[in-house]
């Protein structure tokens, strides 16, 4: 492949995308999606081919097109007039509300998880305080032995370090 072939492929793909976008956006006047299509065309320089596959407008247009084709087919089969229903409007406020609800739910789950982890940390800290108290009570027993004193000092340092590390590692739901 050379650059000219790639350029030709790119141009052909752009033509196909524009054709598909025009086919999708071919709505009768007064259709509820017509205003949204016009607005998106203005935003995208008149070309809806740049919309991603899962975009709500693209899905709504495909659904409207399928309904229109089914209606035409049904009309042709029955030979009569078929009731036309209006398409659903894209409600931006509802989309924002749904996104906010999902975010609130994620925050609630994070808060609950932080509470659970912090409760576990509290239990360990209580155990460490108890171990520190036991070490202090029994330290004088091991003071006479050099090895015993070294072990007791090491245990005391480990308890202090563990307590300091755990106290500093509490989770806060807002900072995760």
Q: Which residues contact 88 (CB under 8 A, 6 or more apart)?
A: 32, 60
Query: What's the gap between Cα 145 and its chain centre?
Result: 60
pTM higher than the cut 0.85: no
Give residue 40's pLDDT.
Answer: 65
Q: Is the pLDDT of residue 2 over 70?
A: yes
Measured CA to CA, the distance from residue 156 to residue 133 in angstroms comes to: 10
Q: pLDDT tens digits, residue range 135-172?
A: 888 888 887 888 888 888 899 999 999 999 998 888 88
> Buried (b) or exposed (e) across 84-104, using 16+ Cβ within 10 A?
eeebeeeeeeeeeeeeeeeee
Percent of the chain whose pLDDT exceeds 70: 70
Q: pLDDT tens digits, residue range 99-131?
A: 899 999 999 999 999 999 999 999 999 999 999
């Amino acid at each position: 492949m050379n650059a000219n072939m790639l350029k030709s492929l790119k141009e052909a793909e752009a033509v196909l995308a524009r054709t598909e976008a025009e086919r999708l956006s071919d709505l009768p006047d007064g259709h509820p999606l017509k205003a949204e299509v016009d607005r998106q065309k203005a935003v995208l320089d008149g070309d809806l081919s740049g919309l991603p596959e899962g975009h709500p407008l693209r899905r709504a247009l495909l659904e409207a097109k399928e309904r229109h084709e089914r209606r035409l087919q049904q009309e042709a089969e029955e030979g009569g007039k078929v009731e036309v229903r209006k398409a659903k409007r894209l409600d931006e406020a509802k989309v924002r509300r749904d996104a906010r609800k999902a975010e609130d739910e994620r925050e609630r789950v994070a808060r609950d998880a932080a509470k659970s982890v912090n409760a576990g940390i509290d239990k360990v800290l209580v155990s460490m305080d108890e171990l520190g108290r036991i070490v202090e009570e029994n330290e004088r027993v091991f003071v006479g032995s050099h090895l015993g004193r070294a072990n007791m000092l090491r245990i005391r340092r480990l308890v202090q370090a563990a307590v300091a590390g755990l106290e500093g590692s509490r989770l806060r739901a807002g900072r995760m």
